[in-house]
Amino acid sequence: MAKWTPTHEAPEPLEGPVVATITGLTVLWFVLFLVQLPFYGWFDDHGHTWWVWTCLAGGGLGLIGIWYVRGRDRAIRRAAASAAGTTSTKPS
């Protein structure tokens, strides 16, 4: 059986407002946590407290995600600035 090989180039990865997206979703996780807190007794009675803690965990992991994507964004900008500085040739 022959191995399949792609016949076309892979597309460039999509870059969007990554920091804003992760920040917005992290805020959403924390809002969901805060909205569910007044109903903690109901969640406890029905065995669904994991919903509350999942939202808190999502918010906490989102904070790590914000830290990560901000660093990634800075590294991408630094690499672009470095590439722009090294590719420009100055006449001697």
Model confidence at 8: pLDDT above 90: no
Model confidence at 89: pLDDT above 90: no
pTM: 0.74
Q: How does pLDDT run across 31-82, given as a tens digit for each residue?
A: 999 999 999 999 999 999 999 999 999 999 999 999 999 999 999 999 999 9
pLDDT at 6: 77
pLDDT at 91: 54
What SS3 state is found at 14?
coil
Residue 56 CB neighbour total at 10 angstroms: 16
pLDDT at 90: 53
